[in-house]
């Protein structure tokens, strides 16, 4: 039986639940202090000059608050937030429709901007620099190009792979912010706040226990809080205790470090089939029967963060701490025959 993965993309109903827990201002946000300070100064300066904010690029792993910051920025600038994603903008006409709807001070949020079509990306350049676009109404001999002037808006691009952005696009952002993983203390504060929003009774040990399994990611902390709240309602009169958290995590197959069955399957594939590595990501994906993008975007970032896996020029390698965590004996390193010559 396949167990639902808590760390996968949320369904629409869960997305509504997560949206209800988003902070509404920078003061409500926990963590990311450097980003918050720089953003606060930029917002105050833009409002003092009565100008739209410079374009912003947010990069970092999924679930760290890029969409939340976009909502806060739009609210602070008293503009409308329009949300789309890179893969959804297939043609220049798709982007044209969005740009012509923007009013002065509005915010256009493009998630996964690194996946935007290159032709569309080049069409976006003059809109970012000069707030105008040259749109071809038709192709061929009878076609003509019409110049549209745009209202001054702010583009917020979000990406989990900043390295895949072209230099030309990256240089057109006035602010570049990197969001890093949250520590356990910050996640405990986030869980405590959201438990209060949901009117859930929880002791400090339960909150800390939940935060320790959230993989440094607020989105995951909120999903786990939802699952634990359901378990507590059915089994413990709605009260969250450390024991309730442990029992829920056992059902979800999430261990003390926040690793689930897919994370452990990745490590076990490297250990059993490739003697701990090095092994290429394509080979690991084929062994597990998963897409390469799933492993690179969802599994590997956290394993790299906690030092269970390293990337080398020859491929992925499991570190000794991962063997210890899973209770697996590391393979014996064969003696180097060249060493005996010396």
Catalytic residues: 66-67, 111, 160, 219
CB of 51 closer than 8 Å to CB of 152: yes
Calculate the alpha carbon distances from 240 to 150, 180, 202, 217, 220 in Å: 52, 28, 4, 20, 17
The alpha carbon of 293 is separated from its chain's Cα centroid by a whole number of angstroms, namely 14
Tokens at 105, concatenated: 């001070």
Cα(307)–Cα(318) distance, integer angstroms: 9
By C-alpha distance, which of 151, 153, 135 is closest to 93? 135
Cα(263)–Cα(256) distance, integer angstroms: 13
Run of H or E including 300: helix 300-305
Cα(215)–Cα(207) distance, integer angstroms: 14
Calculate the alpha carbon distances from 69 to 32, 96, 107, 310 in Å: 11, 25, 11, 31
CB of 19 closer than 8 Å to CB of 71: no
By C-alpha distance, which of 87, 252, 233, 258 is closest to 159? 87
* 152: Cβ contacts below 8 Å, ≥ 6 apart: 51, 52, 104, 105, 131
SS3 category, 245 = helix
CB of 198 closer than 8 Å to CB of 225: yes
Tokens at 5, concatenated: 């993965």
> Looking at the DSSP assignment, which residues form a beta bridge with residue 118?
none
């Amino acid at each position: 039986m396949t167990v639902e993965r808590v760390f996968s993309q949320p369904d629409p109903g869960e997305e509504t639940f997560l949206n209800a827990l988003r902070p509404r201002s920078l003061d409500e946000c926990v963590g990311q202090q450097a980003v918050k300070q720089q953003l606060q100064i930029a917002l105050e300066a833009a409002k003092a000059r009565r100008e739209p904010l410079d374009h912003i690029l947010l990069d970092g792993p999924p679930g760290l608050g890029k969409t939340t910051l976009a909502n806060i920025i739009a609210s602070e600038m008293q503009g409308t937030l329009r949300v789309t994603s890179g893969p959804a903008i297939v043609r220049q006409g798709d982007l044209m429709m969005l740009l012509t709807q923007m009013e002065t001070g509005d915010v256009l949020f493009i998630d996964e901007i690194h996946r935007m079509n290159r032709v569309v990306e080049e069409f976006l350049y003059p809109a970012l620099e000069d707030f105008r676009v040259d749109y071809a109404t038709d192709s061929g001999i009878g076609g003509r190009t019409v110049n549209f002037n745009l209202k001054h808006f702010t583009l917020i691009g979000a990406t989990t792979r900043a390295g895949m952005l072209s230099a030309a696009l990256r240089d057109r952002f006035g602010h570049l912010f990197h969001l890093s993983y949250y520590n356990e203390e910050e996640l405990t504060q986030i869980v405590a706040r959201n438990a209060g929003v949901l009117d859930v009774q929880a002791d400090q040990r339960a909150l800390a226990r939940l935060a320790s399994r959230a993989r440094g990611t607020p989105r995951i902390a909120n999903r786990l809080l939802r699952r634990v709240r359901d378990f507590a309602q059915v089994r413990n009169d709605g009260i969250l205790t450390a024991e309730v958290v442990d029992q829920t995590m056992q059902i979800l197959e999430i261990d003390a470090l926040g690793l689930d069955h897919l994370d452990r399957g990745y490590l076990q594939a490297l250990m059993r089939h490739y003697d701990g590595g090095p092994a290429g990501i394509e080979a690991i994906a084929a062994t597990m029967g998963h897409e390469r993008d799933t492993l690179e975007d969802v599994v590997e970032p956290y394993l790299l963060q906690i030092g269970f896996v390293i990337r080398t020029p020859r491929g992925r390698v499991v570190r000794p701490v991962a063997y210890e965590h899973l209770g697996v004996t590391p393979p014996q390193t064969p003696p180097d025959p060249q060493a005996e010559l010396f």
